[in-house]
Structure formats: structure tokens, C-alpha cells
Chains A and B, each alone.
Chain A
Amino acid sequence: GAGVSQSPSNKVTEKGKDVELRCDPISGHTALYWYRQRLGQGLEFLIYFQGNSAPDKSGLPSDRFSAERTGESVSTLTIQRTQQEDSAVYLCASSAIGPADLHFGNGTRLTVT
């Protein structure tokens, strides 16, 4: 079926506002990953879901960041009280068999003004 879908593709928000980023994984993929990519840098791991559970949230940069996944499907990454340093591309990936089989979405480009 379709690949990993992320929305919105672009988001411009004012400093201090909350934003929600959405990821629709490939159907049947039990694992879901969120990464952040700052300009000119590699991907920074944020959080991993196995089913609806997140075994490791230590990659989340601060308590302003949270994520949830429901129905072993859609995941939402929420950033509260956005700061300029949150500006980046947020990438979602899903996998059926583990981290060697990552399928990435096109990302959400977040700009905080």
C-alpha cells in the first residue's frame, strides 16, 4: 500500500504556540520512530514505539515534547510552547522487522518565528 505519510509537510508557527505533527505509518508496521533533523546535521533520535508503547522516551529534548500512538497506527508528536531552536525537519519512520528496515516519510518542516 501507501508509504509513510506525514502531515503537515510544512508548518510555520509563532514562538510559544503549540504544534502537532502527524505520522501515518505503513499498515501492519508495528514499530514507529520519530527523528529530528536540524539543518546540516544528522538525524537525532527522539522516540520509538513498539505497538502503542514507547519503551524509551529519553531522546525527547525536553518536557515540552510528547508523543503518542493509538491503534498501533497513527502517531502524533506534540511540541508545546515552541522555541526557535525547535525549527527542524521532523521525520517519521516505520518498520515491520526492526531498525534495519526503516521506511521514512517525507517529513514535516517546522519553522518557529
Chain B
Amino acid sequence: KQEVTQIPAALSVPEGENLVLNCSFTDSAIYNLQWFRQDPGKGLTSLLLIQSSQREQTSGRLNASLDKSSGRSTLYIAASQPGDSATYLCAVNTGGFKTIFGAGTRLFVKA
């Protein structure tokens, strides 16, 4: 059974810091991995999608890496801003219609 774990559960950093959020999954046979952002009272917004054949994806100040063999992904946020404060969720898809989500990392960026 695929399980997704995110560490840390919460993180508080001063504005301008670079930071890394971690995601691990138990079954390396994944189809793709996604990072989502969730603002309070809102749904999820997709940030980055990494296919199983890819090693990383970049979008602006965000970079996500994928190491399937070790069951790990990281989300790197450069030069963090208060507007980055949100919950970040990692999710894996094993090829079917079910996407397995981690519990998320709550990020707070202090101005």
C-alpha cells in the first residue's frame, strides 16, 4: 500500500530564506508526483508535476526533484516571500485514478 509522508509538518522561516520541503513514498512504482499548494479555506492548486521518467521540474522560484529509487521528492523554494505562506502537499499517482496525498507541510514566511 502506497504511503506518502511529508517532513516537517510545519515550518516557519524569515522572508528571503531558501527552504526545502521533503516528501517520501513507500512504493517506488509511481506514474507521477505532484506538489500542490493549499491556502486556508481553499482547494488545492497544482504547482509542479514530475513524470516518473523525469528528475526535476522548475517553475519560477520553485524546483521539485524526484528520486524514485529512494522514494523521495523535495520542493525547493528560493527567496521565500510572505505570500508563499500556505500548506504544501505532495501527491503520487501509481497509474490509476487514485492519487495518494501526504498530510502536508504548513509553511509560514515571516515578513
Contact = CB atoms under 8 A, between A and B. Distances in A.
Interface residues of A, number: 26
Interface stretch (B37-45, B53-61, B73-81): B37-45
Given A100-B34, A100-B49, A42 B41 contact: no
A59 B91 CA distance: 17
B103 A42 contact: yes
Contacts of A48: 97-98
B93 interface: yes
Residues of B contacting A: mostly: strand
B46 interface: yes
A56 B4 CA distance: 21
Given A100-B32, A100-B34, A100-B93, A42 B44 contact: no
A41 B100 CA distance: 12
Interface residues of B, number: 24
Contact of A106 (B32, B43, B91): B43
B102 interface: yes
A105 B102 CA distance: 19
Given A40-B103, A100-B32, A45 B44 contact: no
Interface string A82-104: 00000000010100001111101
A67 to B, nearest CB: 14
